[in-house]
Amino acid sequence: MANLRKLPLLALGGEAFASCYFQVFIYPRAPLMPWGDPLQFAENGKRILNGQLPYRDYSQFTLPGIDYFYALMLRVFGERAWIPSAAMVMLAVAVVVLTTLIAKRVIRGCSALIPGVLFIGLALPNALWATHQWFSTVAILGAVLTLMGRVTVSRAAIAGFLCGIAAFFTQPKGAAAGLALVLFFLLQARRTRCWADFWKRSAAACAAAAASVAAACSYAIKTAGISSFISSTIVFPLRYYPTQWQNTWRIYGTTITRSEGVSHLLACCFVLMIVPFAYLTLLGPDFRREDNETKDHLSLIALAGAALFAGVAGAPSILRLVTASPPAIICVAWWLQQERSKRIILYAAVAVALVLATIHPLREQQHAAWYLQTPTGRIAFLDRPRFIECEWVAHRVRARAPFFGNFPLSFILDLENPAPVNLFTLSDYTRPGEVKRTVSALERSHPSLLVLSPEMYEPAGTIMDVDHLAPFRSYLRANYHMVKEFSTGEQAWAENREPVR
């Protein structure tokens, strides 16, 4: 009987695996061309395997958890293009399973599966990048599940440890989750009038969180120095990270477009509507009618969800909001299943989610694809301009050659970036010191080819831009010439002594 009770959860985990897998792989096993932040972190993992370290040899503003993860995967499996995609599949399954196990504590019967279904169909398709945001979410959901049973000092310590792990990947989310735990212990103490338990649990959680972060970061601090570590992980995120508009609250809602189809538009709207507004449902009479245990569970879920949102509120892109959505989805599902009239809305949403969970992977599988054999494996492209650019570069550089510019190409073609950064921007996000160190690194390594985005080779276009790239452009014009302009907007530059035809 116990095994039979696990079947629905196993089936839902299987649905999450299949839906995610067929959105990031073309059957049977060709990964879709990975892009964006996961490739930056994979590049950093490759740097670590080559003897470089964060904060000392290359720039990084998160704690090093995500870099260490990719370094481990590359060490175990080799430099393979499928690693970011496979990591995303495993993360999706983990989030769905944890969400369902948490939902079972507040939603009775088979309805506890509903949050997982809603997540798979209406949230997941907008965030298929295996970044540090997902790892911290998994750790925080694990902390919530730990406290769903009897809250003891040892459980509080385990939850605190998991919050420390969350901070090891995304420091704002981990810190906010630690505060959420203390607030949860405070709410319990106010109800039970047992303040001794509050102090013991809070102390255990905070000590475990601090110890886990300190232990995990000790090597990076030792090798880079405490000054460089603090400057990179505290000063930079607070002072320079928000200088790009994409890293501010203004990005909220701006990523909604119809270019990716109505299904993605529905998924975006769903996430924007419930994060963080779902927690208002706990202010109504439905919450007050629940027993004390359920109230505690719902309060913990809401506090954890608020912590996840607080960790991304400074730059609430749709991807970051999706990583903060599981607790909100649980709260919405709990609220909608309270009354028959609201259950109609809930079941309609489930039907839509089930349809979208099928449509999204089918659309990817039926899309015209182009394939390229690279040093990191066979890769599928759904974007022909990207395929043409990658194919052109692949035919003109050899594996392990020095290369700077387009960091996804650097990873999938197994090239070596000699610079301390993966990209430049027209903002204070790119520091003058990084530009100087990059020019020095290029002068030493002499890459035969660079693939650059417009802001790297064109002066600032508006008075709002902050341009620190003049030394790089001077070096570029003196030592390279443009040989190819791609329809992606990027340009290939060949070293003057080695023209590329």
Share of the chain above pLDDT 70, in %: 96
Q: What is the layout of strands, in order, in the sheet containing 449-452? A: 404-405, 449-452, 491-495, 480-485
pTM reported for the whole predicted model: 0.94
Mean per-residue pLDDT of the chain:
91
99-135 pLDDT, tens digit per residue, is: 999 999 999 888 999 999 999 999 999 899 999 999 9
Contact 270, 278 (CB under 8 A): no
339-391 pLDDT, tens digit per residue, is: 888 899 999 999 999 999 999 999 999 989 999 999 999 999 999 999 999 99
What is the C-alpha separation between 59 and 435, in angstroms, rounded? 11
pLDDT at 150 over 80: yes
* pLDDT of the residue at 341: 86
Lowest mean pLDDT among 44-48, 289-293, 418-422, 472-476: 289-293
* pLDDT of the residue at 34: 81
* pLDDT of the residue at 500: 47
* pLDDT of the residue at 417: 94
Residue spans per domain, the chain: 35-363, 383-495
Give the residue carrying structure tokens 């993360």: 91
Cis peptide before 28 (omega within 30 of 0): yes
Cis peptide before 276 (omega within 30 of 0): yes
429-464 pLDDT, tens digit per residue, is: 999 999 999 999 999 999 999 999 887 877 765 545
178-198 pLDDT, tens digit per residue, is: 999 999 999 999 988 889 999
1-43 pLDDT, tens digit per residue, is: 455 567 889 999 999 999 999 999 999 889 998 888 899 999 9
**Residue with the larger pLDDT of the pair 254 and 167:** 167
User: Following CA atoms 420, 426, 429, 431 in sequence, which dihedral angle do they give, to the nearest 10 degrees?
Assistant: 50
Contact 493, 482 (CB under 8 A): yes
Question: What 3-state DSSP class applies to 370?
Answer: strand
Question: Cβ-count burial of 298 within 10 angstroms (0-12 exposed, 13-18 middle, 19+ buried)?
Answer: buried
Lowest mean pLDDT among 153-167, 259-273, 350-364: 259-273
Lowest mean pLDDT among 85-89, 141-145, 304-308, 450-454: 450-454
Rg (CA), the chain: 24
What is the C-alpha separation between 198 and 353, in angstroms, rounded? 40
Residues 74-91, mean pLDDT to the nearest whole number: 96
The number of beta carbons lying within 10 Å of the beta carbon of residue 348 is 11
Run of H or E including 111 = none
* pLDDT of the residue at 466: 76
Give the residue carrying structure tokens 């912590």: 307
Nearest to 320 by CA among 116, 13, 36: 36
